[in-house]
Amino acid sequence: MTRMDGKALAAKLQEQLAEKTVALKEQVGIEPGLVVILVGDDPASQVYVRNKERSALAAGFRSEVVRLKASTTQEELLAVIAHYNQAAEWHGILVQLPLPAHMDEEAVLLAIDPSKDVDGFHPMNMGKFWSGHPVMIPSTPAGIMELLREYGIDPAGKKAVMIGRSNIVGKPMAQLLLDANATVTIAHSRTENLEQVAREADILVVAIGSGHFVTKDFVKQGAVVIDVGMNRDENGKLIGDVAYDEVKELASYITPVPGGVGPMTITMLLEQTYQACKRFLDLG
């Protein structure tokens, strides 16, 4: 069994990104700018945003976090987004999800300029992605594909099972695996005989949002297991959707939680901000 170290790969890629950022600034005097908008005080979101800000600054980016109260109206949030849409020094805009219950998430995401939508959730970017002409790709699936490449895992011809069907991870992950010539099944909590379906997978990606949901009964010998889950157990410990200790005995490759997929998500977000900056500067 090989433990897929997303933290180490993220550090390597972010170091390379920092070098590219220095070169870009020397060439044109501009650094990529990423603004993260956080509404409310959700504890997990606070951690995510802090990590994004820290990584952006380490890569040499212009970074800003806009923290708004949970009582902020949707109109006020849309006004903030409109401001950054027009600000040339900001190349990436990210609205941290989830939003407070009184806000329309779809309307908020739709308000972001697609050229600055580094999360890849705007319908225009999703449409380009699904039609085979991606510009912005959701960061978590993009990070998983980088992990597979780093460890020499070629999905071509393999059976891949994606447990989870969200627009953020499940559906785009399935599409990327399909683009890499895997034969893909999307499964979820209502899939009949889910354990049996999962056991057919050469590559099993799990994003179902339930701690230690996937046990050894879901995994065939030698499978590659990618755990996207971020949950807390009864003691407050961070755990994944996969029961790591028992599944690792069967898997050929497996991602840990923490230190697997999470760091790669932030890395790909930064890479897409860098690429958005280059497109803004017409540098290809």
Q: Active-site residues: which are they?
A: 52, 96, 119
Q: Which two tokens stand for residue 250?
A: 């069967």
Give the three-state DSSP class for 268.
helix
Phi then psi for 117, rounded to 5 degrees?
-80, 75
**Residue type for 220, please?**
K
Angle, vertex CA 66, rays to CA 65 and CA 69, nearest 5 = 135
CB-CB contact of 208 with 238 (8 Å):
no
- Give the residues across from 117 on adjacent strands: 93
**Is 164 marked within a binding site?**
yes
DSSP character string of 181-216: T-EEEEE-TT-TTHHHHHHT-SEEEE--S-TT-B-G
Give the three-state DSSP class for 238.
strand
**Is 165 marked within a binding site?**
yes
Q: Which residues of 248-258 are buried (b: 16+ CB within 10 A; e: fewer)?
A: bebbebbbbbe
Q: How far is CA 151 from CA 40, 182, 245, 261, in A?
A: 38, 17, 21, 14
* Strands, sheet with 92-95, edge to edge from the N-terminal-most edge strand: 62-68, 33-39, 92-95
- Give the residues across from 34 on adjacent strands: 63, 92
**Is 63 marked within a binding site?**
no
Give the three-state DSSP class for 72.
coil
Q: Which two tokens stand for residue 192?
A: 């009949």
Query: Where is the binding site for NADP(+), in residues?
Result: 164-166
Query: Where is the binding site, in residues?
Result: 164-166
